[in-house]
Structure 1
């Protein structure tokens, strides 16, 4: 998860060329299996070596039920009118309006600032899954993060100074078939917005989730994130052909340490959310090539 923080820029995608001096200095970072660059982050950014880092593997037999973890309230997710800005990293969309989340045992109201995806490589979703978090060691093809900043804070740079400065909603994405990837050099463009609710499952599917205290998953790895990882994956149907930028843009699993992962108390078993997300992904990719 990587909100844009002024003055803090590092190349995160393995085959893109950054336009910033700091990214040129640090070079290409390969994420995922076999990548060694993330192991060097703590030498450059002190917080990357701390004890509350993300992502993590969630071991379901060790999570603790928290009866206070109630459903979220989503404000402004139904309609967006301001243009979205697709950043030049090729996978982040900046949000211009004030969609917000409350409840969900959050102590404040949080404003949505951006969303992005993480995925694996070569279109082989089975052998190179790309989600950052995992459940009992299982990783999914992709993971969607919607980043929110505490409403009383004026910037992400200010938010990372607080343990609860950012609240991120994480959604696993399950892809049934093998899809080809189209690799390209990212660029910054504006695009027509969609409703944020088209990115995520129906609210009735969002009552079962995990909660823990963690960090950004890119340098500077600031431990300022209240993480919510939803249990049910979004499932893309068969014969879905996705053209996605870049490859392997995920950080390896980090130790849980002394932290506790909590689980919401919703009792209903709900079916996986389906297919609307594929429309949004296709829309993002087509817009980029206009």
Structure 2
């Protein structure tokens, strides 16, 4: 299958999964089209198992989930990549890879990856950790290989598995992100796309990502299907402020709060956790500072010992 056919198939699959993603839409991130109105677009967006969430490490339950084994993320063989400005984000399409493991049942095929970012480096991620936002979050969207397509998988409770990675500002960046940044100038206009020189997708990921949080949730854009098994990784990917600024040059059809069409703050506010459980395959509180109550107890014990000594 040549490149154009690969891209066409991937793009059709994406539109099927996100039916209002290309061109004009009735949802957005600002004003009357913003997240507080999404339930008017799709009733599912107002349900009780929505994403993203605020991850509270002290609320996690330990689980023995194994690490992911991302296949074909370390090769460029047979890999054609295309990046698209869909008016809401930048999406990388064309991966022929899988993400088995991670405590998931069955294999999942990688469909696409995309980004959410803020107006400034102080915000942008969809998930938060103890209320803290990161400047950008990357989502790798995978669908269960036992289903016929991405759109088919979106209709099943175990259909999708999304891997979420946070970006953190640093003096140097991870190798792969510059290759994405270099392509952004070619997709400034909403609806545009360009070919990206194939590179190992591992170059976009942290050097180690065996630890993750896990919960059941939804897509973070309409139609907000509650069919996503989320894995959110605590180890960050480095990016520079200069590189972040390039993401903000993408244009949306939606007018932002500044009165222009620069794409930023394309993240959904955190949703209520409700009765859902948050798991981790590591101890997120290892090495944490003692609580105030524990510290006071230790001080009281020390005071008692000293009083007996003197």
Q: Calculate the TM-score normalised by the size of structure 2.
A: 0.71
Find the aligned partners of 2:163 and 2:266 in 1 and give their Cα distance: 18
**Cα 1:142–1:38 shift into 2, 3 Å:** same
**Cα 1:94–1:7 shift into 2, 3 Å:** closer
Aligned-partner SS, 1:211: strand
Greater Rg, structure 1 or structure 2? 2
1:4 aligns with 2:8: no
- The aligned counterpart of 1:278 is none
C-alpha contact 1:207 1:266 (8 A) present in aligned 2: no
Structure 2 residues not aligned, in runs of 5+: 1-12, 172-183, 251-262, 287-310
- Alpha carbon RMSD of aligned pairs, Å? 2.6
Alignment of 1:256-271 (within 5 A): 256-265=273-282
Aligned-partner SS, 1:92: strand
| Structure 1 residue ranges (4+ consecutive) displaced by more than 4 angstroms after TM superposition | 237-242, 266-269
Aligned-partner SS, 2:85: coil
Query: Which structure carries more helix by proportion?
Result: 2
- The aligned counterpart of 1:75 is 71
- The aligned counterpart of 1:190 is 195
C-alpha contact 1:5 1:156 (8 A) present in aligned 2: no
Deviation, 1:6, is 1.7
- The aligned counterpart of 1:286 is none
C-alpha contact 1:93 1:116 (8 A) present in aligned 2: yes
- The aligned counterpart of 2:90 is 91
Moved more, 151-160 or 259-268: 259-268
Find the aligned partners of 1:30 and 1:255 in 2 and give their Cα distance: 19
Aligned-partner SS, 2:126: coil
Find the aligned partners of 2:157 and 2:105 in 1 and give their Cα distance: 12
Find the aligned partners of 1:155 and 1:19 in 2 and give their Cα distance: 22
Deviation, 1:88, is 3.2
Structure 1 residues not aligned, in runs of 5+: 12-17, 270-290
Deviation, 1:8, is 4.7
